[in-house]
């Protein structure tokens, strides 16, 4: 196995351990908190999370992505980005502190002002560790990141649960995030062998910023418009509806975002190393796309079928209104990895200008979707996400085709058999679950999951899906030597 492939494989294993380990702990914590707190309280956090995401996008500024992409990075590159992030974090916090009352007035929820003022301390805490994490990513040292992340989530989660039990309500959700961020920051300083020196290179800052600011604008625009649904639901509907939506969206993101982000942490530096070999980049990119869809498509559709027993078993009856939202979002979630990996092609090729223009186009589509869906209530807004997601994929894929000759239609041709089999599996599950409605929720979940896995893997083997073989190759199983 080549050194690069070996690093990618072991990086992938540790990234999955980090991503899914932390998310498993986070999910367990969220289950306890969802049982202890009300949907309205989660809705309040959903409202201010909009502004947290915006601040996070401004803080990162794309400079860390520039560090990953460039070769020959030196100490002054890291120090320059570190001090920029630190200075920007203080400015952002001050801005958030004084605009908090305006946010509270917008939603007509007075409690949001102090919530924002406390929650936004996470900007400053996170700024202290952005460069350390970036260095570990460049070195593909995801083992340390795993060791850092999981204890941080556990300590923050325990803090949140204890506060919720003692009646702190929505504040327990804020302290959960702050303690997690602080614990994580302290550990990065302990485990990282990099420390900032007292230097700031203006020339190098301009170089990184010239690439990064376009990504910053793209990310900022994406965060603002992705939060548009929460803004609209929070303004025109109740805080409880925001809570139901954020719960459904969080559940959808658990498999989709985590699998996508776990792979992206490995594939982005990997793609960057082969950015000048277009044919190899296309080949590796195609393999990644097919493997991701092979896993995501059946998983999301199966979750949609079993949504009712899953939500009732995990979160109790009070969260059942979130089920139809979740089922619709599962469809949109299938296309999320395609958006991310298509966008990565532009970044590794240094075309952040295309990335920015396409981001603007996507957000225009999103606004049109919100306008079209709002008259039909929250359900209409959910279906608009599906339409926007599919439309955006074809637009982005068109430009990917121009860059590496792998257009949206070629991607669809590759993944269509897996989508078809996934629909067949979901249909079988639906009729099976109809006959199990009078049984315990846990029984419905276990039986439906086992049957869907057996059917999907059997059909995948029967149709000889290449993605199945590629996944087997990634498993660290030693082949027996011939005697």
Taking the C-alpha atoms of residue 183 and residue 167, their distance in angstroms, rounded to an integer, is 23
- Least confident stretch, 239-243, 320-324, 343-347, 473-477: 473-477
| Nearest CA among 423, 358, 422 for reference residue 391 | 358
pLDDT tens digits for range 7-17: 555 655 666 66
Predicted confidence at residue 263, as pLDDT, reads 65
Taking the C-alpha atoms of residue 389 and residue 226, their distance in angstroms, rounded to an integer, is 11
Predicted confidence at residue 422, as pLDDT, reads 93
Predicted confidence at residue 309, as pLDDT, reads 95
Q: How confident is the model at residue 270 (pLDDT cuts 50, 70, 90)?
A: low
Cβ neighbour number for residue 438 with a 10 Å cutoff:
6
Q: How confident is the model at residue 404 (pLDDT cuts 50, 70, 90)?
A: confident
Q: How confident is the model at residue 391 (pLDDT cuts 50, 70, 90)?
A: very high
Backbone φ and ψ for 392, nearest 5 degrees, come out as: -60, -40
Structure tokens at 482: 């011939």
CB distance 158 to 103 below 8 Å: no
What is the mean predicted confidence (pLDDT) over 356-360? 79
Counting Cβ atoms within 10 Å, is residue 21 exposed (0-12), middle (13-18) or buried (19+)?
middle
Taking the C-alpha atoms of residue 81 and residue 63, their distance in angstroms, rounded to an integer, is 7
Backbone φ and ψ for 328, nearest 5 degrees, come out as: -70, -40
What does the buried/exposed string (b/e) look like for 463-472 if buried means 16 or more CB atoms within 10 Å of the residue's CB? eebbbbeeee
Which has more pLDDT, 357 or 169? 169
Backbone φ and ψ for 157, nearest 5 degrees, come out as: -65, -45
Dihedral sign from CA coordinates of 295, 298, 304, 306: negative
Q: How confident is the model at residue 454 (pLDDT cuts 50, 70, 90)?
A: very high
Structure tokens at 56: 């996070």
pLDDT tens digits for range 35-50: 888 888 888 888 887 7
What does the buried/exposed string (b/e) look like for 58-74 if buried means 16 or more CB atoms within 10 Å of the residue's CB? bbbbbbbbbbbbbeebe
Taking the C-alpha atoms of residue 193 and residue 18, their distance in angstroms, rounded to an integer, is 20
Dihedral sign from CA coordinates of 314, 319, 324, 329: negative
What is the mean predicted confidence (pLDDT) over 307-335? 93
Taking the C-alpha atoms of residue 398 and residue 379, their distance in angstroms, rounded to an integer, is 30
Taking the C-alpha atoms of residue 429 and residue 408, their distance in angstroms, rounded to an integer, is 29
Is the pLDDT assigned to residue 467 strictly greater than 70? yes
Taking the C-alpha atoms of residue 381 and residue 75, their distance in angstroms, rounded to an integer, is 47
Predicted confidence at residue 71, as pLDDT, reads 64
């Amino acid at each position: 196995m080549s050194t690069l492939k070996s690093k990618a494989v072991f990086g992938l294993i540790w990234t999955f351990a980090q991503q899914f380990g932390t998310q498993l702990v986070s999910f367990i914590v969220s289950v306890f908190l969802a049982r202890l707190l009300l949907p309205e309280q989660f809705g309040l956090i959903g409202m201010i999370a909009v502004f947290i995401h915006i601040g996070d996008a401004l803080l990162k500024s794309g400079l860390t992505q520039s560090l990953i992409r460039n070769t020959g990075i030196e100490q002054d590159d890291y120090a320059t980005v570190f001090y920029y992030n630190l200075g920007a974090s203080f400015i952002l916090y001050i801005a958030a502190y004084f605009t908090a009352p305006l946010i509270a007035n917008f939603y007509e929820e007075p409690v949001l002002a102090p919530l924002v003022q406390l929650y936004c301390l996470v900007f400053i805490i996170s700024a202290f560790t952005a460069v350390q994490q970036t260095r570990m990513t460049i070195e593909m040292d995801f083992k340390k990141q795993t060791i850092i992340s999981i204890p941080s989530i556990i300590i923050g989660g325990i803090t949140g649960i204890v506060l919720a039990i003692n009646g702190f309500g929505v504040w327990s959700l804020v302290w959960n995030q702050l303690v997690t961020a602080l614990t994580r920051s302290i550990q990065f300083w302990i485990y990282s062998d990099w420390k900032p020196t007292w230097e700031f290179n203006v020339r190098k800052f301009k170089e990184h910023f010239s690439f990064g600011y376009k990504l910053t604008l793209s990310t900022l625009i994406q965060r603002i418009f992705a939060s548009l649904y929460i803004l609209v639901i929070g303004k025109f509907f109740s805080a409880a509806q925001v809570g139901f939506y954020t719960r459904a969206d969080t559940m959808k993101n658990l498999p989709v975002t985590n699998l996508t982000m776990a792979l992206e942490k490995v594939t982005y530096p990997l793609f960057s190393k082969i950015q000048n070999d277009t044919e190899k980049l296309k080949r590796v990119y195609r393999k990644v796309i097919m493997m991701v869809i092979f896993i995501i498509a059946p998983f999301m559709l199966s979750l949609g079928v079993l949504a009712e027993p899953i939500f009732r078993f995990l979160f109790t009856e009070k969260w059942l209104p979130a089920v139809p939202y979740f089922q619709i979002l599962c469809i949109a979630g299938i296309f999320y990895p395609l958006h991310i990996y298509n966008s990565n092609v532009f970044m590794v090729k240094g075309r952040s200008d295309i990335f920015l223009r396409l981001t603007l186009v996507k957000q225009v589509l999103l606004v049109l979707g919100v306008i079209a869906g709002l008259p039909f209530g929250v359900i209409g807004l959910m279906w608009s996400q599906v339409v926007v997601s599919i439309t955006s994929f074809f637009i982005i894929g068109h430009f990917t085709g121009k860059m590496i000759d792998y257009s949206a239609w070629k991607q669809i041709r590759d993944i269509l058999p897996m989508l078809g089999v996934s629909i067949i599996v979901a249909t079988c599950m639906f009729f099976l679950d109809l006959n199990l409605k009078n049984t315990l929720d846990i029984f419905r979940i276990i039986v439906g999951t086992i049957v869907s896995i057996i059917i999907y893997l059997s059909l995948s083997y029967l149709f000889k899906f290449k993605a199945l073989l590629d996944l087997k190759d990634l498993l660290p199983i030693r082949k027996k030597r011939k005697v």
